[in-house]
Amino acid sequence: MQTQDILGRLDTAYCLDFLSRMVQHKSYSQTEGERTLAAWMAEQMRSLGLEVELTPVEADRVNAIGRLRGSGGGKSLMFNGHIDTNPVTEGWTVDPWGGKVDDKFIYGIGVSNMKSGDAAYFCAVKTLVDAGVKLRGDVLLTYVVGELQGGVGTVAMVKQGYRADYFVNSEPTDLQALTMHAAAFVFQIELVGDTRHLSKREEAVDAIVAACDLVPRLNALKFSGAKSPEHEKINRVHVGVMHGALGKEQKDLKRLLGSDKLKSEKLIEEMKAMDAKFGGKTELGRRRTLIIEAKHIDKIEALAEEAATLEANVEREPVTIVCSQKGWVRAFKGHQEPSEAVKYREGDRERFWIHAETTDKLMMLGTDGRFFTLDCAKLPSGRGNGEAIRTLIDLPPEADLVALFAHVPGRKLLLAASTGHGFVTNEDDAVAMTRSGKRVMNVKTPGEAIVCKPAEGDSVAVIGDNRKLVIFGLDEVPELARGQGVYLQRYKDGGLRDAVTFSWRDGLRDDNNRSWTPSELKDWKGARAQAGRLVPRGFAKSGKFG
C-alpha cells in the first residue's frame, strides 16, 4: 500500500475527537487524574491489539506503554510523550477541560504541551492497523508522566529496559523537526546583602542590584566545546528562577514550615501574644463590643443540633411520588401501582410515577442541564392535585423536566443532549443543595438535555432523529463532574433522539419491549461519534429504547 493511500485513510474527525477526549481528563501532574488518563490510554491501545503495560514510576504513578509487534527484520521506532499537564492559569474564556473544537482550533489545557502529539502517535498507529499494514519493526507508544519532575517517567522507562532504534518526541517546536536536545546542569547562586536604613542606603550591600548586574552576564555565557553551530545555540547558561527574601527570615521560615512541632509552638506563642494585647483583661479588650454571650451561643448550637437530629430521625416509610405532565407533584403513602383512581387537573395526565422512601432524596434533571434535589419527606401529600414543581425549585419557564428519580448514592448516570453530546457522571456529584439547582451538563442552545439514565453494563446505544443507530463501548464515554461531554453520535441533520447503556451479552430492548440479540445488532457495533446506520427492520417507530 502506497504512502498516499494510507494518508488518505486518516480520519481527521476521529483524531480531533480523540484529542478532545484526552483533554477532558484532568491530568495534573502527580494527581489521580494523571493515573486515570494513563489507564485510559492503555485501554485505547489494547483496543487496537497492541501489547500494553502500565509500568510503575514512583509512588502511585504509572506510564502507559504499548507495542505494535512487527513481523521481524525491521528497525524499531519509539514515540514518547508526557500526559501530565501544568495547572490551569487565569484568563480562560472556555472550559479548559471541555476539549472544544471549532473550524480553526481545539481548546483545552495541555493541547499544545503535549496531548496533541500524544493523540497524533495513537491515530497514526490506528490508521496503520485499520489499513491492515504489516510492519517488520516494532512500534512503541510510550505515554509517560513526570515532565515537571525532571522527566521521571521517561527515566523510569529507560531503566526498565525499553529501547528502540529510532525515537520521536513531539514537545511543541512550532512543527520544526529537531535532532538534538539540551541536557541540563542545574546550579544555584546565593547573593547575600547587608541591610541599612533608607537614610544610609549608600552603606548597604544591595543583593537585588547585584543580581540585576549578574543575570545578563550569566545569560551571555556559553559553554566551550560545541561540536557545531547548532550545538552552540544550546551550549548556554539560562537563569530560570529567582527568589528574593531576607536571608535569616527565609531560613527560619523554611525551618518552621518543615516542622509540625515548630508550627504548633509558633501558633501557641502568637495566640498568647494576641490575648496579652487584646484579651478581656486588657484596656482594649474591656472596650470591645459584646455581640453575644457564650451561654447564648451554647443555646443556639443546642437548638441547631436538635433540628438536625429531628431531620435525621425521619421515619422511613414507603411513598409513591407522582408528577404530572404539567409538573404537579405529590406523594402518596405506600408503594402504589399506576391507577385511574389517581386524578389530575383538567387537561393534565401522568408523567412520572416513582417508588421511594421518605428518607430518600428526589432528584430531577431539567432540559437546561441543571439537577434539582428535594427531600421526599417534605413533598406535598397525595390529597388533592399536589403542588406545581416550579414552586419548589427554580426551574426556568423555558425549561422542562427530563427525568425524576430517587437518589441512589454512588450510582453513575448517562447524560445526553439533543446535540449528540454526552458523558457519564457520578450521581453523588449532581445532588443540589439549593432550589436554584446545580449545573452539571453544559448544553449548547438551541439544544437540550434529553437523556438521564443509569449507566450500567458495558455498551452504549444511541439513535438519532434520522433513525440511525450506533453501538459502542461504555468505556469510550468519559466520566465528568460537569461539562458538555463528547460526541456520542454525529448528524448532518436533526439530533439525538435517545441513548441507553446495556450489557452486550444480554442484548438491547426497544420502546416496544422487543429484545434484540447481539447477533442481530453486530452490524451496528462501531465507535463513538460515528453516524451509525438505519435501525434494523422492526425497530420501534418511536425511535426510542425500552
Neighbours of 537 (CB within 10 A): 5
* Domain annotation covers residue 527: yes
* 358 located within any domain: yes
CA angle, corner 84, sides to 15 and 488, nearest 5?
35
Q: What domain range includes position 413?
A: 408-546
Q: How is the beta sheet containing 401-406 ordered, strand by strand?
A: 401-406, 361-366, 370-375, 438-439
- 339 with 479, same domain? no
Q: Please tell me whether residues 350 and 483 are part of one structural domain.
A: no
Residues 464 and 510 occupy one common structural domain: yes
Closest CA to 440 of 491, 398, 479: 479
The span from the CA of 41 to the CA of 19, in Å, is: 11
**Domain for residue 298, yes or no?**
no
Instruction: Identify the CATH number of the domain in which residue 490 sits.
Output: 2.120.10.90
Inside any domain, residue 356: yes
Residue 409 pLDDT: 94
- Considering the domain boundaries, does residue 189 fall inside one? no
- Tell me, yes or no, whether 337 and 423 share the same domain: no
At 231, which helix (H) or strand (E)? Answer: helix 229-232
Say if residue 325 is in the same domain as residue 262. no
| Type of residue at 5 | D
- Which CATH number belongs to the domain containing residue 148 in this structure? 3.40.630.10
Q: Which three cell numbers stand for residue 99?
A: 476539549
Q: Identify the pLDDT of residue 291.
A: 67
Please identify, among 125, 144, 169, the residue that sits at the C-terminal boundary of a domain.
Answer: 169
Last residue in a domain, options 169, 200, 216: 169
How many CA within 13 A on the CB side of residue 142? 29
Q: Is 457 left (phi over 0), alpha (psi -120 to 50) or beta?
A: left
Same domain, 64 and 156: yes
Q: Convert the pLDDT of each residue in 81-100 to its tens digit.
A: 999 998 888 888 999 999 99
Among 150, 169, 188, the domain-final residue is 169
511 shares its domain with 378: no
Is the domain of 505 the same as that of 427?
Answer: yes
- Answering whether pTM is above 0.75, one says no
Whether residue 470 sits in one domain with residue 538: yes
In a domain, 93, yes or no: yes
The reply to whether 141 and 100 lie within a common domain is: yes
Q: Which residues of the chain have pLDDT under 70?
A: 245-249, 290-298, 302-313
Residue 407 contacts residue 370 (beta carbons within 8 Å): no
Q: Which residue has the cell 519493526?
A: 137
- If you write DSSP's letter for every residue of 298-325 in order, what string do you get? HHHHHHHHHHHHHHHT----EEEEEEET
Q: Are residues 268 and 320 in the same domain?
A: no
Domain presence at residue 178: no
Give the three cell numbers for residue 213: 548586574
How many domains, the chain?
A: 4
Is residue 217 a part of any domain in this protein? no
14 lies in the same domain as 146: yes
